[in-house]
Structure 1
Amino acid sequence: MNRARTLAVAVVVPCLLATVAAGTATGADVPAPAAAPAARPSVPHCVTMDGSDLNELYGVKYRIIGPSTCRTAVQGEKWVRTVSPWFTAPGAAGAVYPEGYRPSRPDPIDDFNSKFVSATYIQDRGTAQEKSITFKRKEVLRTGFVDPTSGLSYSAAVSPPLKSLAVGLHTSTVLFTLKAEHCDGLGTVREENCLPAGTFLWAVDTPFEVVPRPGQPAGS
């Protein structure tokens, strides 16, 4: 043990013992240490049909709304929206593109990341309750992932925590904005392998439900 730390312990421990002994001798009560606040219970993780734990994968501590297995939020709790990721060829070697397309970065996933501008989240699109919020690339884009089965690279948009909604049924729509056309390096068909410049729909009117907190009526 470090010598300075050993000396400090040698001095402090006898002092503590003397203090406790004095309190016992005089009948004084020694106050019990304050109880630590109860930890907030962790939310159930979002596990996809293929067994992927999205909370673990993306490092999210909030309830996730996105895949068909994760469509329930809880009243009063913030939640996070995920959508299907974008896959590309693993690198420049072997990447193929539609005629005339020239990527801005050698690796297709870097080309996508460099052109990604923002993601827009619309709640209850087309209703009187419609609200939308846009987050810039640095706030939502997660990258550096490789699919273990296919070996493809991918990036995913993961929203910051969103405000709780009223109890009941809702929808969530997600739009992406790119500053230029991007192609994934996996094929030569623009309609299948490329994303356009500008803003476009990525996930349309995904339904989900907000339920009351356990033991609390829906209207409270």
Structure 2
Amino acid sequence: MRPTRIRSAVLSAALVLMLAAACGGVAQARTVQAPAVPPVDRNCLSPDGTNLNTFPGISERIMGPPACREAFAGEQWVRSFASWGTAASSRGARYPAGYTPSEPNPMDDFLSKLEGVRVVNDIGTDREEAFTFGPEIVRRIAFADRIPFAFFATSPMPPLSVGPHTTTVFMSLSAEHCDGLGRVRIENCLPGGEFRYTGDTPIRFFPRSAG
């Protein structure tokens, strides 16, 4: 599995704006500062200004990308996380020894095996709560530098209590999938069954009176 490489593969492309979504817990400020209050406007913008809500057609507040981890109390929210990219087609696809895809094109192989995800909020605490979603989490397939990427976002989830939380994504595949981009299993493949797809991403809900 290659979570680090897929996040940095094509940073300039609109659909890869989510590739850093699973980097929860990485500090970006050099000094301790008060958490930012979420904007009233729900649109989530990537560093290059791409509107991540209009990209897949989401009206709720998106949570997960580094710039979009705050919401107001009472708001439903959508969990988005790192996209998955594959070789463009079977032509030139490279696989680890012993791997045979179920579908000729790598992206079709991934989609045929994707069973869904389990989003666990506040994992390991007495507030832990899990939500399960099916293959509909794939909101859009788009290309960046001729590489197809599956863009993920859940259905709307209920609001959390005011304060800090974490949200973690586990993915389920019916069988092992390899992306066709290389022959190193740990970098180019996802295992069959359920596995942790993201880290414990920090998010926060603010009272409506904030700001």
Shorter-normalised TM-score: what interval?
Answer: 0.7 to 0.9
Q: CA RMSD in A?
A: 1.5
Structure 1 residue 73: Cα displacement:
1.1
Structure 1 residue 151: Cα displacement:
1.6
For the 8 Å contact 2:56–2:140, the answer to whether it is kept is no
Counterpart of 2:148 in structure 1 is 153
Higher relative contact order (CA 8 A, sep 6+): 2
2:125 maps to a residue whose letter is: T
| Alpha-carbon separation, structure 1, partners of 2:43 and 2:72 | 13
**Equivalences for 1:103-182 in 2 at 5 Å?**
103-138=101-136, 140-147=137-144, 150-182=145-177
SS of residue paired to 1:55: coil
2:124 maps to a residue whose letter is: G
SS of residue paired to 2:53: helix
Counterpart of 2:85 in structure 1 is 87
For the 8 Å contact 2:168–2:199, the answer to whether it is kept is yes
Q: Does 1:208 align with 2:206?
A: no
2:45 maps to a residue whose letter is: V
Structure 1 residue 52: Cα displacement:
2.9
1:107 maps to a residue whose letter is: N
Aligned partner (choices 181, 186, 207) of residue 186 of structure 1: 181
| Alpha-carbon separation, structure 2, partners of 1:190 and 1:48 | 30
Gaps of 5+ in 2: 1-39
| Alpha-carbon separation, structure 1, partners of 2:45 and 2:140 | 20
| Alpha-carbon separation, structure 2, partners of 1:81 and 1:110 | 23
Count of matched residue positions in the alignment of Structure 1 and Structure 2: 172
Runs of 4+ deviating beyond 3 Å: none
For the 8 Å contact 1:43–1:61, the answer to whether it is kept is no
Gaps of 5+ in 1: 1-41
For the 8 Å contact 2:117–2:132, the answer to whether it is kept is yes
For the 8 Å contact 1:119–1:157, the answer to whether it is kept is no
Determine which structure has more spread, i.e. the larger CA radius of gyration.
1
Q: Does 1:68 align with 2:66?
A: yes
| Alpha-carbon separation, structure 2, partners of 1:50 and 1:108 | 29
Higher helix share: 1
SS of residue paired to 2:58: coil
Structure 1 residue 215: Cα displacement:
6.3
The one-character-per-residue Cα deviations of 1:47-66 (angstroms, maximum 9, x if unpaired) are 12243321011110011101
Percent identity reads 43
Q: Does 1:195 align with 2:190?
A: yes
| Alpha-carbon separation, structure 2, partners of 1:177 and 1:161 | 20
User: What is the TM-score with the length of structure 2 in the denominator?
Assistant: 0.78
For the 8 Å contact 1:103–1:183, the answer to whether it is kept is yes
User: What is the TM-score with the length of structure 1 in the denominator?
Assistant: 0.75
